[in-house]
Structures are given as C-alpha cells and as structure tokens.
Structure 1
Amino acid sequence: MNTTISPINAKLAAVDRLREKHISTPRDVQFRSYLDRLLQRDEYGNLIAAPRLYTKDGDARGIAVVEPAGGGKTSLVYHGLKNHPALQPRDAVHQPWVGVRVPSPATAKSLAIEILGASGYPVSRSNSVTEDDLMRKVRHHFKLRGTAILWIDEAHDLFGAGSRFKIDVFLKTVRNLMQGDGAVSVVLSGIESLWQIASCDAQVTRRYWRMPLGDVSPHSDRKALFGVITDFCHAVGMRPPSEDDLVDRLVHASRNRFGRCMENILAALEAAALDDADELTLQHFAESWGMQEGCGVGQNVFLARQWAKIDLSEAKFSGGGAY
C-alpha cells in the first residue's frame, strides 16, 4: 500500500492542524483577570478551585462574556477554563469546572439534565423527575466533584423570545446555584441580547461582571493579524500574501470579529492548499469568502475596488448571486 502523502494532502492536513490552534490575544489576559476574581486563595495567596464568596450568606459571583456572533468568545472561555492552573483536576473524580451549551428546547429542566450529563451523572428524562429534583442533584454532584465553575455557553438561548415569567425562572435557577452551601460561580457567554435581557434583573447586575469583547480594528490590530497570517502560511508551506490592503479587507469581510477573521484566514488557506499554491493570495480569500457568503463579484470584499463601501450588516447584505 502506498503511504506517500501528496503535496496537496500535506497542505490540507497542516491547515486542519491549525484549526486546533488557539491564538492568544489581550482578550485572554482580560478573561483570566476576571476568572481569577471568581476563585478563592489559600493562606499563601495561591488561587484554588473553590468559588470566592462575596457575602456572609455564601454567595458567589459570575461573569457574563458578551460579544456578537462570530467573535470567538466560546474558544476564549474554553481555553481560559481548560488552562487555568487552579482548575486542573487532581484525579478522575475531581472536576473543577463544568461547561454546557444551552440545549434545545431550552427549559430549566433540560438545562439541569445537560449539566448533570456534563458532570458525569446519568439521569433519566422521565416526566416524573421534577426540575427541583434535578437541580438538587446538580448541587449535590457539584459538591462531590469539587466543582467551582459552571460555564453556560450560548446563554442567550435560555431566554429567546420567552415571557418575563420564563426569563425569571431561568435567572432564579442559575442564581440558586450561586448561593449557599455548595455554591458555584457561573460564567455565561452569549450575544448582546444576553445582557440586555438578563440585566433587567437587579440580582443579575449585582452578581455578574459584564465582560464585553471589543471589535477587531484594521489599524491597531493590523500587525498582529498579518503576523498570524504569516505564521499560518509558513506552517502550511506557503509564502504569505503581498497585497497591502489584505488585512483591511479581511477585517471588513469578517465584520470586525476576531473569530471570523481566523475562520476566513483558514478558509483561504484551504483554498490555496487545494490549488497546491506556493503563495496565499487575495484571490484565495475571494474564492473562499465568496463561497461562504454566496455573493457576486461586485459584492466580494476581496475583489471589489470600492470594498469599504459594501454594507455587510446582517439586515442589508444580500449576496447578489453566487460567486
């Protein structure tokens, strides 16, 4: 059997490896500083896997990481929790943090089942099991596993277009986990509507620190983004692009979102790998972005002369035909 890998496949494999790579930015430092404030310290000042309690009744605090879709917040939070020195498991039983994504349909009961599943607890979905029963099991299992942090991703889906009553039920469910014996700190991540809805509750604004993630700037972030492109190109065995305005076009095409910038870079590299190209070019970005957006040449940010005038707001951008 021939085990020789072709040049194209070698490049494609290198691109796939890059997809697993986390790009550290000042946002990681910002999140780490917020996360540190959720945790207790021992007598020597070292952070430990226990929630810091802010009231005499034993109430923990939380973080709301807020950013529009495509910003990369999920990757940011996951990397921050997974690599925090104080949140490393001591053994197979110890689980310092638990992460879940809001299930569909989103109910307090389905969320409790999701949390129990993520913490390794088998649970029946029987209708006879009540939400309160499940949440008591969640608290008990957190204590057994030494859990300090609960992360709920896509937390805006908890509320959706729900009634005020439904919203209040969710807020109370999560808030109860942050109170009393066995309390945990809660990290919520989601789009702007998460905070817009949740902050209507005074208990939320008191218990959570809001951490908004800023947009990528084609000016202040140009050097860093080109550095990422260059490093990625070298990893795949290509020369980096030479177009002077590439980063500016990239940021605009990515709607100023960091996560989308990374996705568009990787998609362009894949297009170049399929061409067995020696250099990543603007045309590769145009090809991959055009496929994703379903836009015509005149609306393709990487081809149009007046690219900066193309309105990419979700409500206004209509692809204008397949690329």
Structure 2
Amino acid sequence: MTEHSVVGLPHTVRDTSDHLNTIGEELAKYYFTREEDDTLKKALDRLVKNAKQSPEARAIVVSGESGAGKSTLLGRAFRKHPAFPNFEDEGCQLLSVQVPSPCTLEELGREICEAAGYPFLGNSRSASVWRAVRNQLKAEGIRYLHLDEVQNLTETVDKNEGKKVRNTLRAMLIRKKHPVALVLSGPPVIVEFLRQDNQIRRRSEFVAIESLRQDDGEILVDTIKALAEEAGVGTEAHLAMDTVPRLMHAALRQFGTAVDIARCAILAAAGSRYRAEGEIAAEPCLTGAHFANEFAIRTGNAGFANPFVTPDWQALDCSLVQVTKIDGLASPSDGEDDGSKPIRRRRKGARQ
C-alpha cells in the first residue's frame, strides 16, 4: 500500500460502508497526467500571453471522443494555471459554461448570462441576449470563456444557423471594447464545424485528446496497479495479457472511461473483503469478474455482449451495447495542496 493508503479495518456494517466510501474518495483523488496535459498548459500560456499583448483574442479548441477525459483535463489545467487562481469562484476572469442539450444560440446566451451572475429576462431576440452577454462579461471582468459540450449547439443547426453561431463566436474574439478569449471543447465533430470560418481557424489552436493505442496497455496496467495498491487490493497475474486488452475494448479506447471502469471495479473488489457475517477476509484480488460486473451495471450486458465475459470479445462492438453514457474519471478538487495524487502517464516512446 502507498504512503497515502487507507488504513484501519471496519468493525460494523456501517463502518464498512464508511470505509469503502473513504476508499472511493481516495481513488477519485488520483490524476493520471498525459502528454496532452503539457500540450494544453502551453496552449493556455499562449492564450493568456496573447490576451495581455494583443487587441484581439484567440481560441483553443479541445476535441476528443466521449470518455476521453476532456472535462477532467481542462478542469485541472484551469485550476493549476496561475492566471486563474480562483477558478470557479467569483472574481475569476475565466468563466466555464456547459452548453445545455439541446441548445440554440439564444439559449446559450441566456446560460452564459446566468453563469456570469445576470439571469437574462429581457427581449428573447438572439441579438439582445448576446448584447447582454457581452455587457455582463465586461462588467464582471471576464476575459476568458470556456464552453464545454459545444456539439450540443452545433449538431442541430442548419447552414444559416451554423453561420450565425460561428459569427457570434468570432465576434467575441475580435470585439474592440472587450475581446474574450475562448476555450471550446467537445467531440471531434466540432473541429470541422469551427474550421469553416477562416478567421476562427486562423485565431485558434487545436488540441486533440487521442484515443488509446494498442501499445498503451502498459499505461493502463500501471494505472490499475496504482489504484489497486491504494485500495489494498491485489491484481491477477494475467491483468496485462487479458483483462486490460478487454478493458480498452470495453471503453472504446477512451482513457477516462477505462480509468473510471477500473476505479469502480477496484472499489467492488475492496468491498469483497467484508463478508456478510462481518468477518474480514484476506486481501482481496481484482479479477476479470469485477470488471464484468461493473460493465454489466453500466450497460445491462452481463452475457455474450459483455467483453469481459465472451471469448470472442474482439468482435463485439461495444459502442452498440453501451446503453448508458460512461463519463471520464471525476475531476479531483485538484492540486497537491488538497491531497490529489498526480501520476505521470507517458505514451511508450515519448520523449522525456
């Protein structure tokens, strides 16, 4: 067990529940850094530097499939950046807004106004709403705006509405009185949508969150072993050869999803230490069955459509059997100051 491992064993059913909750909280504090952390930090550095030196703002477009870990990556980058020391508190010059689903341009404007502390109750015309957005952002000193899940706005618009969306975003960047830098995140489809505007494309930096590759299995093995050690759980010898390849397939090769499934499977394994009679068993071991059960809980697929059960798992299209959305690992409250435990994750062959 690591230096920060959960210690002490419970004596009652209630103690058991509390103990498992504590383990879950400890596991959620882990953050596994990746190459994209450095890429995004440098992009934010350039965004902030430009905001201080140029009369026009720029944008960062962060794209990745669902479950890639975009929200966790961005949340941690915002909290750790010196330009946003009070992120998510009043007075921060960065405002983060999740685009509701479904969403129109007018509805997004109202959402931003409310997030900025000014619920818009006036004329419902889009132009009026966005005038209020610009005025409120200026009044609050907000110079950076993060819009998450941008596809909720872009996927349902026709050609004319799409042009209005791009015009509105571009206007935020080039407005003379109070330009606002943008961080836009969502699946890869938003990249094609935004690149249709030459000015947005020219003023944007694009950061792609890659899916796991076949040779990233070693990364997941190290990740799972670190989490299991924290929870006081052992791992099987064939973790790398059998379970992890199935996990990558089950998670659609998305790192955030894979880590979240593993974290929940480890917590279930930790719970198996405590028998119904209140007896404490020997150190539990994380097995493929724990992963299979977690996948079944999320999707309802416990048999032939479960990649941790079926022998022919490589032929299984997990995008068709995941009936519930699997999100990335919950964002930690961040920073070593509050107990988060960053672990360096490098792709095989990456430069040191």
Band of TM-score, shorter chain: 0.7 to 0.9
Structure-to-structure mapping, 1:4-153, within 5 angstroms:
5-40=14-49, 50=51, 53=54, 58-89=55-86, 94-124=91-121, 126=122, 128-153=123-148
8 Å CA contact 1:102–1:157 kept in 2: the answer is yes
Shift of 1:162: 1.5
Give the letter for the 1:186 counterpart: L
Partner residue of 2:309?
Answer: 303
* Separation (CA, whole Å) in 2 of partners of 1:92 and 1:151: 14
Is the partner of 1:151 in helix, strand or coil? Answer: strand
Is 1:191 the equivalent of 2:187?
A: yes
> Which string of whole-angstrom CA distances, capped at 9 and with x for unpartnered residues, describes residues 14-71 of structure 1?
1244235432222111111111111127xxxxxxxx4553xxxx32110111111111
Structure 2 vs 1, CA of residues 80 and 163 (structure 1 numbering), >3 Å: closer, same or farther? same
Structure with more relative contact order (C-alpha pairs < 8 Å, separation 6 or more): 2
Instruction: Tell me: CA distance 1:110–1:52, structure 2 relative to 1, closer, same or farther (3 Å).
Output: farther
Question: Displacement of 1:291 after TM fit?
Answer: 2.6
CA distance in 1 between partners of 2:30 and 2:19 (Å): 17
Of the three residues 133, 139, 151, the one matched with 1:156 is 151
Alpha-carbon distance in structure 2 between the residues aligned to 1:63 and 1:169: 20
| Contact 1:11/1:237, CA 8 A, preserved across alignment | no
Q: CA deviation at 1:275?
A: 2.6
Deviation at 1:260, TM superposition (A): 0.8
Counterpart in the other structure of 1:264: 261
User: Residues 122 and 3 of structure 1: is their aligned pair in 2 closer, same or farther, counting only changes over 3 Å?
Assistant: farther
**Taking structure 1 as reference, are residues 89 and 313 closer, same or farther at Cα in structure 2, changes over 3 Å only?**
closer
Tell me the distance in 1 between the aligned counterparts of 2:30 and 2:95.
22
Q: 1:7 to 1:279 in 2, by over 3 A?
A: farther
SS at match of 2:138: helix
Q: Aligned to 1:38, what secondary structure does the other structure show?
A: helix
8 Å CA contact 1:218–1:247 kept in 2: the answer is no
- Alpha-carbon RMSD: 2.7
Task: Tell me if the contact between 2:292 and 2:302 (Cα under 8 Å) persists in the aligned partners.
Answer: no
Aligned residue pairs: how many? Answer: 301
Counterpart position of 2:4: none
Query: Aligned in 2, Cα 1:99/1:200: closer, same or farther, shift over 3 Å?
Result: same
- Paired AA for residue 187 in structure 2: I
State how far apart, in whole Å, the 2-side matches of 1:68 and 1:9 are.
35
Q: Which AA in structure 2 matches 1:33?
A: K
1:51 & 1:241 partners in 2: Cα distance?
53
Task: Name the SS of the counterpart of 2:185 in structure 1.
Answer: strand
CA contact under 8 A between 1:264 and 1:289: conserved in structure 2? yes
Unaligned runs of 5+ in 2: 1-10, 275-283, 324-352
Q: Give the Cα separation in 1 of the matches to 2:140 and 2:59.
A: 20
CA distance in 2, matches of 1:307, 1:213: 25
Cross-structure match for 1:252: 249
Q: Could you say if the C-alpha distance between residues 17 and 132 of structure 1 is closer, same or farther in structure 2, counting changes exceeding 3 Å?
A: farther
Match of 1:286 in 2: 292
Amino acid corresponding to residue 164 of structure 2 in structure 1? V
Distance change (3 Å), C-alpha of 1:38 and 1:91: closer
Displacement of 1:168 after TM fit? 1.1
Candidates 198, 203, 211, aligned match of 1:202: 198
Aligned to 2:5: none
Percent of aligned pairs with the same residue? 26
